[in-house]
Structure 1
Amino acid sequence: MEPDTSSDARGQVFRCWSAQGGSRPLTVAGAQGSWFWDHDGNRYLDLASQLVNVNLGHRHPRLLAAVTEQAASLCTVGPHFSNDTRDRLARLIAERAPGDLDRVFFTNGGTEANEHAVRMAKLSTGRSKVLTAYRSYHGATSGSITLTGDPRRWPNEPGLPGVVHFFGPYAYRTAFHARDEQQECERALGHLEEVFRMEGPHTVAAVLLETVVGTNGVLVPPDGYLQGVRDLCDRYGALLICDEVMVGFGRIGEWFAVDAWHVTPDLITFAKGVNSGYVPLGGVIVSERVAAAFEDRVYPGGLTYSGHPLACAPGIATIEVFEETGLLAHVRRLGREVMAPALEKMAARHPSVGEVRGRGLFWAIELVRDRETREPLVPFNAAGAEARPMAEVMDACVAGGVWPMCQMNRVHLAPPLVITEEELRRGLEAVDAALDTADAYATR
């Protein structure tokens, strides 16, 4: 039967983050490796890894085989039973997590992972407040959207009580009038400590932050910042929760992004890259300190599909592929030798590029109208006609056969970690050409 690609065939799906009347999504017919295509045969290099989750690319044979083999023996089992596949993945994750993070609570995705990490923090400390950054995204359930700092939170308010937002480091658009990265780090930590003091340190259960901020700018923390937050949490008796839903499992060339700064949080949340989203899976890696709080009392939370075997099987295969192929080193090399130099050249060539930043295979190109004033190409949280310049940049990318992620005034690049150097260079050339569209709005 020929697929029905008419708009009527798509009309029954109520779409996320969309005005339903104007939603006209591309119908994807298939995908392989770093590419996907539509029914007309148009191919696109997936420079966003869908939603920064298809780390091992589309239809990876090892992941497909793992799902198939698991389905042949046991498709599903309740979380109140033990299961070899679930137990093995938990052990493999714990072995790669830093410090004493030795327990894994499985969820169906990142938003639930953050919900449960916060619940664990509150219950284990007996405190009620959680500090999170304004430039953050932690999920879309009622609790996690409150934890989120960006504008997606606004229409969902009021939300979870006890969430307090703060400014994290962002040297390019500093909130602290800092002159460099070091001063930005120092002043951001001073600001966070002031928030602790003003909220009452004895009321703060945890600081929750994205190790590398994702959809709010690919903001790589300055050296010393994560350790500084760790020290503040220790000083005031709060827990540190690192949201690694996007950057865990190799995105910046480390098993977990915190490893790049040698910091051990109390809880790490993960999802996406743990199995490339082949079957929904997420979780919380729990330190012995937090787990001990539930040794003799019930943890009041759970999910029907916690540690689903069909999701855990490709998770095991993912870790095996990483190790057998030296994928972490591949990511670090491509980031250092291909991505960074190419983006620096783009910044020099295009007057619309204010800054490029990133690490491994996780980068952002920040677009501006004026390099001197740093006026963004489109206003903060722009929509409709105001957002048109960025829509034109995205259209130019798609016309060039690449599909990045556009967020506000930025182009984000997060290709599958298995992308070849040739594919990556080809994709970067297409993005380079598409930026000519942004240059038309920039002061030369």
Structure 2
Amino acid sequence: MKCAMISSNLLARAGIPNRVVDAKLGVRAVVAGDETLVLGGACAEIATGPRLAALVRPGHEKEALALARLEKDEPTAPLSVHTSIGHPGAVVDVLRAIEPHVPASWTDDWRLSLQLDGASAVRAACDLLLRQCDRFAPVAVGMESYHGPPSSSVGGVGVLDRALKPPQLSYPIPSPFRRRAGEADGDFNARVFDEFRQFCKASSPQVVVFEPQWGSSLAAMPWPVELLRACVAEARESGAKVLCDEVMCGMARHGLGRLFLSDAWRLDPDAISLGKALGAGVNPIAGVLVRHSDAPPLEIHTYAGASERALMAAAATLDALGDDAPLAAAARRAGDWLAAAMEELQAASRGRLLCHGLGLMRGAIFAHRDAAQRARFGDVFRANCERRAVLPYHVPVGGFMITPPYDVDLGTLEEGLRRIGQALDDTYATVRWDDAGLAT
């Protein structure tokens, strides 16, 4: 109790809410002493219980063996290796495990750069692609998108942008808040494509970053696939390299049968970033695959990709997500159920909620065009979720995401969606909107 009190006091003095997670199994968690259903998690977790244990056990067992030998003052396999010395043996396992997931069109001409987190993976991908260009130009990112901490990552806004960010441009995206009243899907997509084509002609970007399925910036909304294919082709026609950022939407979470969504949709990019779940949601490791690179076959930076335990977890995770693997199949089944449940939430909202997503990465945006109204609605909804003991992934755009582990118990997931529905009903009852301001 004394330690808990000290911890709480330190958090309070720092102005940080006490949200210490005391225990967790699947989507059931004890947060700051209270039980809650955690349906978010930002796509980091792919497995729970014994399945998660199987992914991380080999690395922990090797670490335990190393500790036992160290205590006897005996030589042992290193737990981490600085790049000035060499690399851990598990690097070979990661290369073997990721090879079946590399897009077939890349043949054998690809490189893997290991990083610590998704943001550094995206930035490394941009750098590796710019090395292939004959001139330097700003990186192009989608309007309102961000790819990591806003102060230093590609996309986003922050007070240190000019000092820390690479030069960047913003291209038009098919956000529902850019759709004109009464504009049909085909007309809207055609207008966005024309705007993107004009952007490429005017700006001549050297690297264009696409999120096949947006994360926090648009609450799991996927691109219309034919529009995305057209924009990728246009970017390449203009001379740009294409990066697909799949830090959130990759790792087979989309349920379409391949590790990467860009591969399932046959986008054929020049680079793909991956992260979050690569280390089974436990170990800090991320990476970027690059085609036609003059970089070494494997890049490891300082301690990124140097942890034996993280590498072993990554190899086990990649092996567990083969097209026919049980964990990937579980994600597809749960994703089908979640799709139907989200449709029910949208129907019950009477136009106040825009639901979308793929597989086990689903989301909803409050449909008002006014960002301040969406934020107000989101604040009330967040409080109602806390009262109902359910925690989706609340996102800044004004909405939420549902991103459970792949082996989530469907009965528990159903209970969580029921609580979210109740929190939404509570919010609809207290926050009034002018229906004329709703996006479609």
TM > 0.5: yes
CA distance in 1, matches of 2:32, 2:222: 38
CA distance in 1, matches of 2:99, 2:188: 33
Tell me the CA shift for residue 143 of structure 1: 4.2
SS of the equivalent of 1:7 reads helix
Give the aligned partner of residue 38 of structure 2: 46
Paired amino acid for 2:89 = D
Amino acid at match of 2:43: V
Q: SS in structure 2 opposite 1:43?
A: strand
In the other structure, the counterpart of 2:252 is 250
Mapping 1:332-351, distance limit 5 Å: 332-336=332-336, 338-351=337-350
Aligned with residue 104 of structure 1, among 92, 101, 112: 112
Is the contact made by 1:393 and 1:438 (CA closer than 8 Å) also made in structure 2?
yes
State the distance in 2 between where 1:249 and 1:295 align.
24
1:379 to 373, 386, 399: 373
> Which residue type is aligned with residue 340 of structure 1?
A
Provide the rounded CA distance (Å) in 1 between the counterparts of 2:405 and 2:20: 20
2:390 alignment partner, SS class: coil
What whole-Å deviation, never above 9, does each CA across 1:313-364 have from its counterpart, x for those lacking one?
Answer: 111222333348522232222222x212222222222347331111101111
| Contact kept? 1:94, 1:103, Cα under 8 Å | no
* Distance in structure 2 (CA, Å) of the matches to 1:327 and 1:154: 38
Judged with a 3 Å threshold, the aligned counterparts in structure 2 of structure 1 residues 269 and 58 are, in CA distance, closer, same or farther, namely: farther
Query: Do the aligned partners of residues 436 and 76 (structure 1) sit closer, same or farther apart at CA in structure 2, a change above 3 Å counting?
Result: same
What residue in structure 2 maps to residue 125 of structure 1?
A: 133
TM-superposed deviation, 1:112: 0.7
Alpha-carbon RMSD: 2.7
Question: Residues of 1 paired with 2:331 and 2:133: CA distance?
Answer: 38
Instruction: Say if 1:258 and 1:392 are closer, same or farther in 2 by CA, change over 3 A.
Output: same
Seen in structure 2, the aligned counterparts of structure 1 residues 436 and 377 have a Cα distance that, compared at 3 Å, is farther
Partner of 1:163: 168
Instruction: Quote the Cα distance in structure 1 between the aligned partners of 2:420 and 2:95.
Output: 39
CA distance in structure 1 between the aligned counterparts of 2:187 and 2:329, rounded to whole angstroms: 31
2:326 counterpart letter in structure 1? G
Change (3 A) 1:221 1:38: closer
Contact 1:334 1:361 in 2 (8 A): yes
Task: Flag as ranges the 4+ runs of structure 1 deviating above 6 A.
Answer: none
CA distance in 1, matches of 2:312, 2:2: 32
Instruction: For 1:58 and 1:280, locate their aligned partners in 2 and report how far apart those are by CA, in whole Å.
Output: 20
**What residue in structure 1 maps to residue 231 of structure 2?**
229
The answer to whether the aligner puts 1:401 opposite 2:386 as a matched pair is no
Alignment partners' CA distance in 2, 1:423 and 1:196:
47
- Determine the C-alpha separation between the residues in 2 that align with 1:362 and 1:230: 22
Measure the CA separation in 2 of the matches of 1:306 and 1:343. 38
Measured against aligned partners, the alpha-carbon deviations of 1:273-329 in whole angstroms (never above 9, x if no partner) come to 112331101111111x1x2x3469x98x93333342221111122233334852223
TM-score if structure 1 supplies the norm length? 0.84
Q: Which amino acid aligns with 2:393?
A: M
CA distance in 1, matches of 2:275, 2:47: 14
Q: Whole-Å Cα distance in 1 between the matches of residues 270 and 162 of structure 2?
A: 28
Measure how far apart 1:429 and its partner are.
Answer: 0.7
Cα distance in 1 for partners of 2:216, 2:150 equals 17
Could you tell me which amino acid in structure 1 is paired with residue 361 of structure 2?
Answer: F
Cα distance, 1:58–1:52 mapped onto 2, change above 3 Å: farther
Q: Is the 8 A contact 2:56 2:280 kept in 1?
A: no
Alpha-carbon separation, structure 1, partners of 2:174 and 2:182:
10
AA at the equivalent of 2:314: G
Give 1:378 shift: 4.2
Q: 1:28 aligns with which of 15, 21, 26?
A: 21
Question: Structure 2 CA distance, aligned partners of 1:360 and 1:2?
Answer: 44
Structure 1 residues 316 and 2, CA, compared in 2 at 3 Å: closer, same or farther? farther
Q: Which residue of 1 aligns with 2:147?
A: 138
Report the 3-state secondary structure (helix = DSSP H, G, I; strand = E; otherwise coil) of the residue aligned with 2:4. coil
The corresponding residue for 1:17 is: none
Residue equivalent to 2:47: 56
State the alpha-carbon separation in 2 of the partners of residues 399 and 67 from structure 1: 39
Match of 1:206 in 2: 207
Which amino acid in 2 is paired with 1:118? C
What is the SS of the residue equivalent to 2:81? coil
Task: Please say if residues 176 and 188 of structure 1, whose CA atoms lie closer than 8 Å, have aligned partners that are also in contact.
Answer: no
Aligned to 2:408: 419
Instruction: Determine whether 1:392 maps to 2:380.
Output: yes
Measured after TM superposition, the shift of residue 34 of structure 1 is: 2.5
Partner of 1:434 in structure 2? 423
SS at match of 2:301: coil
Counterparts of 1:320 and 1:2, CA distance in 2? 44
Letter of the aligned partner of 1:189 in structure 2? F
Distance 1:44 1:74, change over 3 A: farther
Contact 2:8 2:18 in 1 (8 A): no
CA offset at residue 173 of structure 1? 2.1
Is residue 2:345 matched to residue 1:354?
no
Change (3 A) 1:167 1:250: same
Look up the equivalent residue of 2:247 and give its one-letter code.
V
State the TM-score, normalizing by the size of structure 2: 0.84
Do the aligned residues in 2 keep the contact of 1:182 with 1:222 (CA within 8 Å)?
A: no
Helix, strand or coil: the match of 1:278?
Answer: coil
Deviations 1:370-422 (A, max 9, x none): xxxx4458436x4xxxx3x4233122223323211112321211111221211
